[in-house]
Structure 1
Amino acid sequence: MPEPHVLSVAVGRAVEIAGPRGRTTLTASAKAPVEGPVEVHREHLEGDEQADLENHGGPDKAVYAYAAEDVAWWRDELGRDVPTQTFGQNLTTTGLDLRSVVVGERWRIGTAEFEAAQPRIPCFKLGLHSGDPTVPRRFVAAVRPGAYLRVTTTGRVTAGDRVEVLGRPDHGVTLDDVFTIYHHERHRAATLLDVPQLAPMYHRWARERS
């Protein structure tokens, strides 16, 4: 694998698009790559928005990373072209298996520092943005959720920046593990209670099932 780095940094504004049953819905999934340094704030990148602040955004979903290797997997899986920004990510990475990222793993990118907080839970808007209503269901089955990051040190990121792994917690629970437990192996919910760096939503969910 190449040295882990960021291929592109993307941001987007919330817009209305056609939704289910003839209604419109607000989404900021259409993020476009930008050139040059981008400011990293505590809960977002400069110029980026989240449409549904109840389910998106906030400190535990400040920045979303998805791997170029996972996009390539989707192209093979679906047998067609899949644009890189199909998954609405802010950072497209390469050289790093995001499925094996440990919850609480710390990264330095550019002058900013991040911590892996949780995997992505897909919603119907992924189907709308991708133009394929089967994608959310396939996303759950694929277990390639990408990484939501919290910002621990503000700064700037630029396409081409190295992803430097600063440290990993000893618990060893990965984003793949969390996603698999939440969607496929709910009998293991109590495992998530031993991961203090995990977004609080998962702790609440695990307590209800333990």
Structure 2
Amino acid sequence: MSEARWMVDTVLTGVIAPLGGPGKLSAIDKHPVNQRLWLAETGLHGDEQADKRHHGGLEKALHHYPFDHYALWRDEWQAGETGLVRLTQPGAFGENLSTTGLTEASVCVGDVYRIGGALIQVSQPRQPCWKLNVRFDRADMSRRVQDTHRTGWYYRVLEAGEIGAGDSLERLARPHSEWPIERLLRVLYVERDDYDSLAAMASLAVLTPSWRATAAKRVASRQVESWASRLDTPTAD
């Protein structure tokens, strides 16, 4: 592939199902789809979200996770750990797109790609949540994903169309080469008092409103928001 064109290895969807304790539902369990699917503004046909407040929608229609990370995760796992079996094929992280050759270091917010008959734009990094803890049977998995910056990223859909495994993912535009996904993650989670960068994030029009609002609030308050409710698995009622 050329510098600006990659292959989509796998397209995945999932349906709402129980996850963990009673009453907990999720569609994080994604499976490969062989036929071509319609990608609408709110996501892939047949792909479900149990919590539409935090998943799916116009700004998070499609989740992309690099298969490049899977070998790194396997190397860090202990033999016999429950979650290791999930790291043999795409879908472990609830992704809709799986590729090799693209990572958080090489993808920038605002990048526009042609995939099959659709046009998509990178909108934000994925913010890992406690459902990863349950899925991998590790209480710290969501924090590990956040701390390693192996989060993947989301797209908004600019033009709906059919997509499928084997399609090329061609980058057509890069309006913000100074803002790779990895930098957004570093500013939000590591360099948490870099107020100049946070202010720049808050004014970045291609970034999702929720991320811009978080950056603006931190600049105004000089306080880092709590991540506990997102990262820590809820206790049983």
Structure 1 or 2: larger helix share?
1
Q: Could you say which residue in structure 2 is the equivalent of 1:156?
A: 162
Q: How far apart, CA to CA, are the structure 1 residues paired with 2:17 and 2:188?
A: 30
Q: By how many angstroms is 1:79 displaced?
A: 4.7
Q: Could you say which residue in structure 2 is the equivalent of 1:117?
A: 123
Structure 2: runs of 5 or more not aligned: 220-237
Q: How far apart, CA to CA, are the structure 1 residues paired with 2:105 and 2:23?
A: 33
Q: How far apart, CA to CA, are the structure 1 residues paired with 2:66 and 2:105?
A: 9
Q: How far apart, CA to CA, are the structure 2 residues paired with 1:79 and 1:166?
A: 41
- Give the structure-2-normalised TM-score: 0.82
Q: How far apart, CA to CA, are the structure 1 residues paired with 2:51 and 2:183?
A: 26
Question: Which residue among 146, 165, 181 is the counterpart of 1:175?
Answer: 181
Q: Could you say which residue in structure 1 is the equivalent of 2:211?
A: 202
Q: 1:139-158 deviations in whole A, cap 9, x for unaligned?
A: 11111111101011111111
Structure 1: runs of 5 or more not aligned: none
1:119 and 1:147 in contact (8 A); partners too: yes
Q: How far apart, CA to CA, are the structure 2 residues paired with 1:88 and 1:171?
A: 27
Of the structure 1 ranges 70-79 and 44-53, higher mean CA displacement relative to structure 2 is found in 70-79
Instruction: Determine whether 1:93 maps to 2:102.
Output: no
Q: Could you say which residue in structure 1 is the equivalent of 2:224?
A: none
Q: How far apart, CA to CA, are the structure 2 residues paired with 1:162 and 1:56?
A: 25
Instruction: Determine whether 1:37 maps to 2:36.
Output: yes
Of the structure 1 ranges 83-92 and 188-197, higher mean CA displacement relative to structure 2 is found in 188-197
RMSD (Å) for aligned C-alpha atoms: 1.7
1:190 and 1:209 in contact (8 A); partners too: no
Q: How far apart, CA to CA, are the structure 1 residues paired with 2:104 and 2:184?
A: 12
CA 1:45 to 1:38, structure 2 compared with 1: closer, same or farther past 3 Å?
same
Q: How far apart, CA to CA, are the structure 2 residues paired with 1:68 and 1:75?
A: 12
Q: How far apart, CA to CA, are the structure 1 residues paired with 2:28 and 2:95?
A: 8
CA 1:208 to 1:27, structure 2 compared with 1: closer, same or farther past 3 Å?
same
1:105 and 1:167 in contact (8 A); partners too: yes
Q: 1:22-41 deviations in whole A, cap 9, x for unaligned?
A: x4311000011010211101
After superposition, residues 62-141 of structure 1 pair within 5 angstroms as: 62-79=61-78, 81=84, 82-83=87-88, 84-141=90-147
